[in-house]
Each structure stands twice: as structure tokens, then as C-alpha cells.
Amino acid sequence: MARTRSAARDKDDDEGEGEVRVEDLRGISENLVLGSSPGKRKSRKKASRVDDDVVVVDDDDDDDGEGKRKRRKEATRAAELEDELFGRPTFAPSAEDEDDKATTSGDAEPEALFVIDTEGGRETAAVEEEEGGAKARKPAWVDEGEEDVVVDLVGESRRRKLRKDIGENQVGGSVFAERLREKYKELGKGSHSWAELSSKSRSAEGEERAKDALLRQTGSLLSRRTSVLQPQVVEATRVKDGNVVEPASCVLQAIDFHPKSLLMLTAGFDKMLRLFDVDGVHNPKVRAAFFEDLPIRRAKFIDEQSVLCTGRRPYCYKFNVETGSIEKLSGISGFERSSLENFSVSTELKCLSFLGRNGEVTLVSSKTNRKVADLRVDHRATCAAFTSDRELIATTSKGEVSRWDLRTYRCLDRFVDEGNLNATSLAVHPSWCAIGSESGVVNVYSGGLSSSKPKKAIMNLTTKVDALSFDQTGSILAMSSSMKRDSLRLVHLPTCTVFANWPTSKTPLHYVHCTAFSPSTGYVAVGNARGKCLLYRLSHFPEG
């Protein structure tokens, strides 16, 4: 009987020699899951303690040498088949492992059937520590030859904008690449958050370090913006037009910013006043008003709530920004003019000045709409502007300049602007005064008009100077002429030198009629003959 069972078992072994049995594959899978590797596991034998001093090792008597060889052969064939199907596994079982499996009997202790792989645990812990920590990941690829490249920043005009200093002519490849990235971020051409890895597993300490790094980066940007503006180079980037939502159908005659916000107005001969909320991206329209009988030549904020619109008419209109109401000023007590197009505003004194044909400069209260005083110059008055120290400066068609004290209404000084035969424009800042002429020369005076001799005569324009405007900080003077195409220049103060890098010959200015700076000098607006309000972002200054 025993011989018959042995013969049957040998027959079954011979039949299974040519095929892979499920039990063998299952055993291989268990070895893979348990993390067994060649050379790591040692042969185990079932031990039973006879007494406290002697340990007797019992070998498995059921498995003879022939059965071991057959099972080892079957395991080898199964491994070869698995290699052909799936490739060589990382943790392939060895003959020694199969020997261990064969020498482990069915009645062994459960703990003896498992092996704890400590190597894999250490690797997993290292990976988790790397993912959970705040360490920065290394770049996937680094160009080692980048440092050997030298880039010229002077030869090409586009690269000049990447210079940090005027005398910087060449930089290395890595520095050039980093500045290109900074310029890309500065232009606001998109966010890279989609490419960043998730930080869900980051610890609280790592998040605090990231916040500190962000705050340090923000501080450096703010300190750079508040530094002194350097001459020769100004970073001007075009953004969406200020009136892109609704351009004018005529020449833009007036542009002005609200004194305390980015609310901007545009006006022209189409009799429309439009208000836009400038953000550099959408610039939505806030309000609009149509004046049926007034082609607008001048429009300006006279306070935080009102806009005054004038033209070649004996009347003007006051528009309330908050309510949208319109008030017509047709009769000013003690004041009669055929045209009110030329006026200036003092928000501090709440006073307006209107120019007459015979040298009159009439002062009118912006609150009561009543005449306050009359000032007179020797020739036809062409321009007038209020100063911050309660004075008024007026120019004439003969190039004469008068300075008046508004406390006593007396003329403090009178002189002829050097080389100016006909003053056509005037701009005043607490520290500066600029007077434009018909020949294109702009004389810049420092300290207001404390001296009758200009600090410098700027001759970059060759035709009549129509518009002059200072920014709030007194760092930039914009001067333009509508008589010649692309005639706009920005002047650096206090050096009184024109910025050489902008505008360029490719800047689409067209015929410029008016300019204005935002309250923080973050934007400069340019109105042209096409009815567009071109908007440029000056990155040196804050946006708000």
C-alpha cells in the first residue's frame, strides 16, 4: 500500500515537471510580498527544546532528497517562466530560499514563516522624511555649460532692459536666465502654480519657513521700488489701453487721474466724458456722460467728487462722480467770457483760474462758483498754474512769466523765460517748474521759480510743446507735441536728462495730445489722435 502511494506520488511529480503549478507561483508571490531577497534570509530549522540546556534539531523526515530536487527544479522553471513574461524581478527567489521553504515544516511556529525586511523600511522612512520636510527639490537638469556663456546686454535693445546698472554690459548665462525669469514674472504673463507639487504633507514648521521666505522676498521688492529712480533707463511696459472697453471716436483732448485712486477720465470732441477703473488688465468703465452742446477740450478733477468739463463755449459743466448728476455753469457772477477752455485747478485752495484774451486771469471759487479776484498780465495769457505755497504762475504769448501771491493778489516777480518767444505749456510741482515753447524747447526750473535762470533747457522736441506733466514724486516730467508723430519724451529729475530707452521708434504712440500720471506714478497714460488712451506700467513705482 505504501509502495503504491509512493509510486502515485512520483507519477504526479513527473507529470507536473513540464508545467508551472499554481501553488508554486503562489509561494513565489508570498516570498516577494514578504520582502525576501537573495543572501538576506538564512536557513531555518524547526527546533524543540528538550530541556533547559539541550536543544535538539529535528529535520523533516517526510521530505527525502529526491523530493527536494524536484521541488527546486519546479521553482527554477517557474522563475524562468516569470522572467520571460515579466522580466527579471528585483527580489527573485534563490535556491537557498527554496531550500528554506522546503525545510520549514507545516507545524512550524507562525513567527518563523515571516521575515521582517528592515532595509525597505529605512528607504520608505527616508522618502517620507524628504516629502514631509521643507527641503527644496533639486532641478531635474542643470546646464553645466551655462556659466561659460557670456551675453551682451548692450548690442540688442531688448536686452538693455535686463541691466541692473548703466555700466553693466555683459553677464553670465545663468544670470541672464535668471533675469529673464524675473522679467517674465514682472510682466505678469501667467502663474506657475499649476507646475508646483502639492504641499499637503508639509509640516507646520515647513509652512512657517515658506511664509518667512515669501515675506523676505516681498520686502526686497518693496525696497527696490522705493529706491531712487536711476537716469537713462526707465522700465515701461504696455498694458491694456485705459479705454479699451470703449475707445473715443475722436482725438482725446483730456486725460486725468483721481487724486487718491486709479479712477481715470477721458474726454474729447465726441462730447463724451468716460470714467474707467484702471487695473492694467480689464480697466472697466465706471460711468459716462454725454454733453450735447459741448465738444470737450479740457476736463479735470476739481475735487474728489467732481469733474469740470470746458470747451470753446461761454459755459461749462460740472459732473458728480458719485451720483452721476450734471450741473451747467452758464452764469458766473461778475465774470463773462466767450470761451472757458483754458483753466487750471487748485484742490487745496478750492479755486479755479480762467484765462482771457486781453491778459486777464480770473479766479473763481470752485464751491460757490463766484469770482474771487482778477489778475492782469501785460500780454495775452497762455497758461496758468497754482503752486503748493498759495501762489499762481502765469505765462504770456511773449514768453513772459509772472508769479503772484494769492494772499495779497500782488505780483511777486516777473521775468522773460530764457529763449522763449511764446509760452505754450506750463507744469508746476512743489520742487520743479517746466515751461514749454512753440519752438519745442522746455526750460526746467528747480525750486519752483526761486531763480529766473532755468536749471536746464531740454531740446529733444522740435515742434510746439502741447502738454507737460509731472508725476507726484517729482521724479519724471512728461513732455509731448501733437504736431509731430511719436513726439513724447520722459525726463529724469533731478538730472534733467531724457530717458534713452523709452519710448522707442516702435512704440505705437501716434500723435500725442495729452498725458497723465497715476497718483503713485505706477501708470502713465497717453492720449492720441486715434482716440486711444495708451497705458504703460512703470515697474519702478508701486501700482496702487
**CA 228, 230, 235, 236 torsion-angle sign:** positive
Do residues 524 and 378 share a domain?
yes
What DSSP string describes 105-135?
-TTS-GGGG----HHHHHHHHHHHHHHHS-P
Of the ranges 181-185, 199-203, 336-340, 372-376, which one carries the lowest mean pLDDT score? 199-203
pLDDT bracket for residue 243 (50, 70, 90): very high
- Cα 105 to Cα 103: distance, rounded to the nearest angstrom: 6
Task: Answer with the one of 119, 135, 163 that is the final residue of a domain.
Answer: 119
- Is 142 contained in some domain? no
Examine residue 155 and state whether it is found in any structural domain, yes or no.
no
Q: Is residue 206 part of a domain?
A: no
Whether 203 maps to a domain, the answer reads: no
Q: CA distances (Å), 338 to each of 151, 313, 380, 490, in order?
A: 63, 6, 15, 35
DSSP line for 438-500: TTS-EEEEETTTSSSS-SEEE----S---EEEE-TTSSEEEEE-TTSTT-EEEEETTTTEE-S
Residue 498 domain-assigned? yes
Residue 256 shares a structural domain with residue 110: no
Q: Do 242 and 389 reside in the same domain of the chain?
A: yes
518 — pLDDT class (breaks 50, 70, 90): very high
- pLDDT, one tens digit per residue, over 262-291 is 999 999 999 999 999 999 999 999 999 999
Domain count, the chain: 2
Asked whether residue 161 is domain-assigned, the answer is no
Domain presence at residue 175 = no
Q: Are residues 293 and 419 in the same domain?
A: yes
User: Would 159 be classed as within a structural domain?
Assistant: no
Answer with the one of 119, 152, 181 that is the final residue of a domain.
Answer: 119
Instruction: Rank 56-65, 201-210, 236-245 by mean pLDDT and report only the highest.
Output: 236-245
What's residue 154's pLDDT?
A: 76
Q: What is the predicted pLDDT for the residue at 195?
A: 56
The residue segments making up the domain with residue 31 are: 2-119
55 CB burial (10 A radius; 0-12, 13-18, 19+): exposed
- Of 75, 93, 119, the one marking the end of a domain is 119
Distances in whole angstroms, Cα of residue 536 to Cα of each of 60, 276, 311, 523: 90, 15, 28, 6
Instruction: Tell me the CATH number at 431.
Output: 2.130.10.10
Closest CA to 376 of 391, 355, 350: 355
All 3 cell numbers of residue 201?
504633507
Supply the pTM of this predicted model.
Answer: 0.61
